[in-house]
Amino acid sequence: MDQRIVMVDSGTGLKLTEEQLDERSAVAAVRLRHKGVRAGDTVLICLPVGPDLLVATHAVIAADGVAWPLPVDLDQATLRDRIQESAARVMISNVQRALDAAEESRVRIVMSVAELSGASPSCPTGR
């Protein structure tokens, strides 16, 4: 496979190749399915702009879900409203403010970036 670069993280300068994007999003899509994401389900994604966000978005789409990105710098009340509005069952985020805002929502499962890249379905690589 060609080593085409598809994204550069503006903060760290790290490059994401097309192969990495395909591979990581495929793995993440399977992880989402194992957490119960079904065709047509909305999945919230609240991650800083960068490779993880790109991978998560691709993964949600590959898992047949509907990606619902949330900017990380929204104020708490707006975050809360958007989360309520989405009626999503699953949220992908490592951002504490988003996790707090998801309290009292309909989000059942919060997945971290680490959990998305876990190798085996029964042993999440959470820290």
In whole angstroms, give the CA distance from residue 21 to residue 73: 25
Identity of the residue, 26 or 113, whose beta carbon is nearer to other proteins in the bound complex = 26
Please select the residue that binds other proteins; options are 49, 66, 72, 109, rule is CB under 8 A: 109
Q: Binding string to other proteins for residues 20 to 49, with x set by CB under 8 A, is what?
A: --xx-xxx-xx--xxxx-------------
Q: Which amino acid is at 44?
A: L
In the block, tokens 């079904």 appear at 38
Q: Between 18-34 and 51-62, two packed helices, what is the crossing angle to 10 degrees?
A: 50
In the block, tokens 């899509």 appear at 29
The CB-of-57 to other proteins minimum distance in angstroms stands at 10
Chain-centre distance for alpha carbon 1: 25
The CB-of-113 to other proteins minimum distance in angstroms stands at 16
Q: Binding string to other proteins for residues 47 to 86, with x set by CB under 8 A, is what?
A: -----------xx-xxxx----------------------
Please select the residue that binds other proteins; options are 8, 48, 106, 114, rule is CB under 8 A: 106
Q: Which two tokens stand for residue 122?
A: 């029964």
